[in-house]
Structure formats: structure tokens, C-alpha cells
Amino acid sequence: MAKAILMQGNYAAAEGAIAAGAKFFAGYPITPSTEVAEVLARRLPQVGGTFIQMEDEIAGMAATIGASIAGTKSLTATSGPGFSLKQELLGYASMAEVPCVIVNVQRTGPSTGQPTSPAQGDVMQTRWGSHGDRGVIALSPSSVTECFTVTVDAFNLAEKYRTPVVVLLDEIVGHMREKFIMPDAESLTIVNRKKPNLPPGEFLPFKPEEDGVPRMPAYGEGYRFHTTGLVHDYTGFPNGSNAMTHEVIERLHTKITRNIDDIVRFEEVQLEDAEIAIVAFGGTARSAYAAVEAARAEGIKAGLFRPITIWPTPDKQLEALAKKVKTIIVAELNYGQYVGEVRRIVCGEANVISLPKWNNDAITPNELLDAIKAAR
Amino acid sequence: MEEILAKYFRPKLPHIWCPGCGNGIVTAAVTKAIDKLQLDIDQTAIVSGIGCSSRASGYLNFDTLHTAHGRAIPFATGIKLVKPNHNVIVLTGDGDATAIGGNHFIHAARRNLDITVVVFNNNIYGMTGGQYSPLTPNKGMATTAPYGNVDRPFDLCELAKGAGATFVARATTFHAALLAEVIAKGISHKGFSLVEAITACPVSFGRQNKMGSPANMIKTQRDNAVMVEAMAKMKPEQYEGKFPIGVLYQAEAPEYVTEYQKVIARAMGRTE
Amino acid sequence: MMKLKTNVKNCKGCGICIELCPKKVLDLDELGKINVAREADCIKCGQCELRCPDYAIFVIRDKK
């Protein structure tokens, strides 16, 4: 086993990408994500991969998608303003069903905001930032180790479901340093996109299989296939008929919703007998662990539900939670974004309290403990 | 042309371009260039943006990529970097390449990335019905310039050269054979190659600017284009309304992918 | 002997080949599509095939 080292969250995400088999990064420097780019600038050529700093955020997303269509696992990294710029092409990656990973280390917004302070204000942008309707997968790690493992997971989900996957860090998790032990390569599960099972001429690059996901050829293999952001048929050629449009847009959702049990990841802490549950993710969850412990020490039956998959929402799990607990406190570093989803899912079964914070600081364990006590 | 169609076009014709649109002539020139060079069609990728010209990729029998408006070049950059032995050809329009795509255009040229960019320059945004582009002439009429275009246009070839392109050429749909020839030279050139293909949009540009029939617009190209060697012998007073065609600039410079391959070699040599 | 071959399905009647033909061999039929009116005058210069944007007219070349 490798020895323990002190590792930064962003650094671990970069190493996770390497471990997942990524061989291409195209991006642009932006606080607080720049370390991801800097680490990959050094590490990718060491493993025979390519790093390029493009001229802008949009170019970074474009090159990432282009490289993946050509057949290489690719990623980019950014923060709020860059994430906003990438929205059109995120929709392109969804429509063209291109596996890729986008690391977004969230900071205070809107606009330039506060570049060096943490926030979780891109939750809704991740889901709805691109025009039109599509399904979205986004994961949120809460520790340095998770920055590594969740990034590997993100690549696996991207490859399995032929979709872009967002890894939502925040500046707390991205810049924190913790003990990290590099997993052995053999211990990791690595998923690769399904290759065509028919020869060129017979194979249809956008025909879904049983799981709703088409197999994907690479460039140079003789398939000579067309990829477009226009609504297209199974051959990839533009087809804007009502039937095709309806089918394509629906499948961009169902390939995720039908496979939700495979996609949703979460952690439950002391929820077996809980009466009050905190819902928190990313850096906020670190304060929540401490708050739950402190509450329990005072005899309060508190617990934590930590979504790791932010999108799709863990509906089944939250519905079950709402039947069990009396109160759910949704803590997030924004003006109140995920709480709307929790309210929608819980649908009155439990009392949902919003605990947002938007002044650059993290939510503290004491603030959470106070909220737990106030909810008793 | 029949052999070219059989080998390089998908069975998707007739194409969507208007009667008299020159884009079909430019697209044919691209395929003729590929045929002349006998490129491996499985080692050739064609990338386009959004616009009339960018529809060309769908008709061609290669690994083809129809991207977002203005973004063909960075998509192509990603492809070229992971498939360094591929011939990567970008088909784009004057608006796609120089307006929304302008930043990507100049940086790919600066990097001297080994791709060939064919700009179908019809001096207008055709697909959306005839708005002015950065290559619409001053005083030209357009739906968003109903009083005449106040803008000055780029000289696309000068822009490419200034940004660092190492092969710059221009031809027209009248000079269809020359067009195929310079595209072939651009593909062969190791470095960023820009070919400006002057083409006519009779429906959106020609009609608003009273340029007559599609054939008339082609004749105008014939009357105003001058081979660059001949233009060098002309007096400046004779330049009015004329533009040079042929290979306008060619140079050798370090090419991006080649240089980055050296980085990979160095980086891998260092690790145990 | 046939000198020219047309693909009326692809032709859009743009008139480029007609106006550029040096021998005035071509015109449009009642449906506005390419018609080889005076094939005997054709000198197989290839200007029509070279500049047809729709690949609707071809010069029949002898196979070597």
C-alpha cells in the first residue's frame, strides 16, 4: 500500500482523473480550480497524455469534447464564471452523448463574486444552465480522498452513460489538505465506453441499447460517423421530425432516470433513529459531521444525509427519510438552491428548514447545532 | 465528379443549399483535394461549425463533426491533439470563423496547429437570412444593416498571417480548379493552413446587394480576382476592387503537435 | 455519342452551367431543370461539371 501523504483536494481530483485513464485535459486557469490544471499539465504528459491551456473557457470545453469524440477520456476544470461560459457546450455534450468530466470548484458568485471564497451556488446552474431539456449527472465530494474516488466514479458514469458528468467541488474541498493514501490501481473499478459490436455499414452510432445508451465508435476505426448538436436519428444525421425530437429528448432523460439506482450515491450518518436530519454536501458536510456528533452528545437524535450524487436527486432515499424524521435541515452555501429540491421530494412529509449562508464563510458546526436545537 | 461523389460523399444528396449557392463548389473542391492527395479516409476528420457552409460535413464520408457556432476550431484542436496522425480539416463560414469564432481562429493560427481551415466566405450570414458578418463589405446591404454596413471587413488572409498561420491561400468558386489545388497544398503543409474560399450567396447576399444571377456573381469573382503573382506586377492604382488569389503566404515554423510530442517524450523519460 | 450526363433529381435550376457554357449547349426545361439542348455543340470543356454546385451534370469521359 502506498504511504500516506498530505494532499490537496484539487490535486486529488487531478490524480483521480489520471487513475481513471484520462489522457486529455483542455482548460483555462480560474480560481479556485487552477491547481487541477497545473497538476495535469505536469502529470498528463508523464502518462503519455496531452494537456493544453486553451485561449478561453469555451475553447477548453470544446477541445475536451472533441478529444472524447475522437476516442480519448477527457476532462476540464473551472469555477463559476467559466462554468457559465461552458453551458452551451455542456448541452452539446449531452445532445451528442459525449462522455467527459467537468470539475467545477465553486466560488462565491454571481459574476466575479469572491474568487477565493467557497460557495455552492452552481447547484441549479449545473442542472439547468444549458438551454433545453436534458438529464444531468453531478457528483459532490466532501473530502480529499473523495475528490479522488468521486472523480474516478465520474469518469465511469460518463463512459457508462455517454454523458458529461460534473464534479462539483467547492473551494473548501478543493483547497483543503488532508491525509491521502493513493489506492492501488488494481483496487479501482474502471469503466470504458461500450465499443461498436457491428462492422461499419451496419453499426448505428446513436441507436440506444437496452440500457438506453448507444455504443460509441472512435475516430480512425472505419466507422466514419457523423456527430451533430442538431436533433439526429440513429445514424447521427440531422433529423428534426416530431417523432425523432420527442424520442431523443426523452431518452436524454430516461437513460439517467431508468438507471437511477446505479447512479445515485449518498452517505447516511446516524439516521437509523434520527428525528432531525441535516442534508448537506461538499464542504458543508464536514461541519455537519461535527454538528451531528455534538448534538448526539447532548442527547439529540440528529443525523446526516449526505448526497454524493447531487443530480439526479436521491428521491427514493429522501422520501424514505422524510417518513422517518420530523425535521430536515438543508444546509448549503448559497441563497437556497438544493432546499427547493428537498421540499419537492419531501412533499410535506417532514418539516424542511432552509439553512443557507452566502457571506463567503463556511457554515460552522455551531451554526448547524443551533439550528438542530431550534428545530427540536 | 461522379467518382468523387461515390467515394467521398454520403448518400444524402441533394444538399440543402439554395439554387446557385457556391458552397457545393467549395465542398467539391475539398473532396477533390483529398482525392488528389489520396488521403486515407479513415485518418481524415472533418469538423464544421454552424451555418450554411458548416452543413458540408454531414454530406461527407469521413469521421465528421458538426459542432456549435464558432467552435469548430477548438473541437478540431482536441481531435488533432489525440489523433496527431489524422488529417483534420475544418469547414467553416465567414461569420462562424471570424465573429464568434474569431478568438479560436487566431489562437490556432498562433499555435501553428497542423489543421487546414477552409473558410467559405460568402460575406454574409446566410443560414439566418442575410445579416452582416465581419467579412461583409463596407456599405454592403444586410438585414441588420438596412442603411448599409458601417463596419469595415477583415482581410481574412492578412488576419491569419498576422496571427501566425504558416500557409495562407485564397481562391474563388469561379477558380474551382485552383481552389482544389490550394486546399490540397494547405492539407499537405505541416502547420496551420488557411484557405479562404470566396463563394456566392445569391439568395441572402446577392439579392440584397443587387448582384444578379448566381452565374453573374461567379463572373464578378472572375473579374475581380487576380493571381497573386500578377498582382505583384500591377501598380497600386490598379488595385481598386481587386483581390489576390493563389498561395499568398507560406512559411515553416514549429508545429504545435510536434512540439507537444517532444514534451510528452521528455515527461515520460523523467518518470521511473 | 453522348457527351453529357445529367442528374435532374439534384439539379436546382440555378443557371450557372447554362450561363458559363461557352457553346450555349444548355438550357432549362419546362420544370426549370437542366436540359442538354444542343449536345452536338458541346466541346466537353468541363466548365459545367466544374462549377455545378449540385453535382447535376457530368461530362462523359472516355475510360482509358
Flag if A63 and B75 touch (Cβ within 8 Å).
Answer: yes
What pLDDT shows up at residue C64?
Answer: 58
Those residues with Cβ within 8 angstroms of residue A92's Cβ, 6 or more apart along the chain or in another chain:
A65, A98, A229, B67, B68
Distance of CA A266 to the CA centre of its chain: 13
Q: Do both A183 and A272 map to the same domain?
A: no
Flag if B78 and A64 touch (Cβ within 8 Å).
Answer: yes
What distance in Å separates residue C46's CA from the closest CA in chain B? 10
Q: What angle do CA B114, B4, B249 make, to 5 degrees?
A: 35
Nearest to B20 among C5, C16, C50 (CB): C16
Q: Is the pLDDT of residue C30 over 90?
A: yes
> Got the DSSP string for A61-97?
HHHHHHHHHHT--EEEEE-HHHHHHTHHHHHHHHHTT
Cβ count within 10 A of residue B40: 12
Query: Beta strand pairing status for A177-181 and C4-6?
Result: unpaired
Those residues with Cβ within 8 angstroms of residue A138's Cβ, 6 or more apart along the chain or in another chain:
A126, A127, A165, A166, A167, A168, A309, A310, A311
Domain finish residue from A157, A187, A217? A187
Cell of A157: 458514469
Nearest to B13 among C10, C16, C49 (CB): C10
Cβ count within 10 A of residue A15: 21
Cis peptide before B14 (omega within 30 of 0): yes
Spatial separation of the C-alpha atoms in residues A95 and A232, rounded to whole Å: 9
Nearest to B173 among C49, C51, C58 (CB): C51
Residues 208-247 on A with a CB inside 8 Å of B are 219-230, 237-238
Spatial separation of the C-alpha atoms in residues B85 and B81, rounded to whole Å: 9
Those residues with Cβ within 8 angstroms of residue B192's Cβ, 6 or more apart along the chain or in another chain:
B108, B109, B111, B112, B113, B114, B115, B117, B160, B164, B165, B166, B167
Nearest to C54 among B24, B215, B216 (CB): B24
In a domain, A247, yes or no: no
Per-residue pLDDT of chain A (376 residues; tens, 9 = 90+): 789 999 999 999 999 999 999 999 999 999 999 999 999 999 999 999 999 999 999 999 999 999 999 999 999 999 999 999 999 999 999 999 999 999 999 999 999 999 999 999 999 999 999 999 999 999 999 999 999 999 999 999 999 999 999 999 999 999 999 999 999 999 999 999 999 999 999 999 999 999 999 999 999 999 999 999 999 999 999 999 999 999 999 999 999 999 999 999 999 999 999 999 999 999 999 999 999 999 999 999 999 999 999 999 999 999 999 999 999 999 999 999 999 999 999 999 999 999 999 999 999 999 999 999 999 8
Domain finish residue from A154, A187, A220? A187
Q: Is the pLDDT of residue C35 over 70?
A: yes
Nearest to A334 by CA among A123, A139, A62, A143: A123
Residues 229-268 on B with a CB inside 8 Å of A are 260, 263-264, 266-268
Residues of chain A in contact with residue B76, where contact means CB-CB under 8 angstroms, are: 66
What distance in Å separates residue A70's CA from the closest CA in chain B? 6
Domains of chain C: 4-59 (3.30.70.20)
Chains with ≥3 CB–CB distances under 8 Å to C: B
Q: Buried b / exposed e across B256-272, counting CB within 10 Å, b at 16+?
A: bbeebeeebeebeeeee
pLDDT confidence bin for B219, thresholds 50/70/90: very high
Spatial separation of the C-alpha atoms in residues A151 and A97, rounded to whole Å: 19
Spatial separation of the C-alpha atoms in residues A183 and A15, rounded to whole Å: 11
What pLDDT shows up at residue A259?
Answer: 97
Task: Tell the residue number behind the cell numbers 498562433, with chain if given.
Answer: B110
Quickly name the fold that domain B2-270 has: Rossmann fold (3.40.50)
The pLDDT of B14-41, averaged and rounded, is 98
Task: Tell the residue number behind the cell numbers 487576380, with chain if given.
Answer: B226
In a domain, A192, yes or no: no
What distance in Å separates residue B78's CA from the closest CA in chain C? 31
Cell of B34: 483529398
Q: Is the pLDDT of residue C42 over 60?
A: yes
- pTM score, two decimals? 0.97
Q: Is the pLDDT of residue B83 over 90?
A: yes
Yes or no: say if B200 and C53 are a contact pair by the CB < 8 Å rule.
no
What pLDDT shows up at residue B272?
Answer: 43
Flag if B68 and A88 touch (Cβ within 8 Å).
Answer: yes
Nearest to A63 by CA among A35, A10, A100: A100
What pLDDT shows up at residue A2?
Answer: 87
B192 close contact with A: CB closer than 8 A: no
Flag if B260 and A50 touch (Cβ within 8 Å).
Answer: yes
Nearest CA in chain B to A231: B66
Do A and C touch (≥3 CB pairs < 8 Å)? no
Q: Do both A25 and A147 map to the same domain?
A: yes
Q: What is the number of structural domains in chain A? A: 2
Domain finish residue from A159, A187, A215? A187
Look up the ipTM and state it. 0.97
Yes or no: say if B125 and B135 are a contact pair by the CB < 8 Å rule.
no
Task: Tell the residue number behind the cell numbers 473530502, with chain if given.
Answer: A143
Q: State the residue range of the domain holding A128.
A: 4-187
Residues of chain B in contact with residue A48, where contact means CB-CB under 8 angstroms, are: 264, 268
Residues 81-100 on A with a CB inside 8 Å of B are 88-89, 92
Q: Do both A163 and A294 map to the same domain?
A: no
The pLDDT of B186-198, averaged and rounded, is 98
In a domain, A200, yes or no: no
Amino acid type, A287 = S
Yes or no: say if A165 and A154 are a contact pair by the CB < 8 Å rule.
yes
Q: Give the pLDDT confidence of B235-246 residue by residue, as tens digits.
A: 989 989 999 999
What distance in Å separates residue B248's CA from the closest CA in chain A? 27
Query: Which DSSP state fits A131?
Result: S
Nearest to B215 among C13, C19, C54 (CB): C19
Yes or no: say if B218 and B143 are a contact pair by the CB < 8 Å rule.
no
Chain B residues with a Cβ under 8 Å from any Cβ in chain C: 1-2, 5, 13-15, 17-25, 28, 173-174, 176-177, 202, 213-216, 218-219
Residues of chain C in contact with residue B214, where contact means CB-CB under 8 angstroms, are: 14-16
Residues 5-34 on C with a CB inside 8 Å of B are 5, 9-10, 12-16, 18-20
Range list of β-strands (E), A73-200: 74-78, 100-108, 114-118, 137-139, 164-170, 177-181
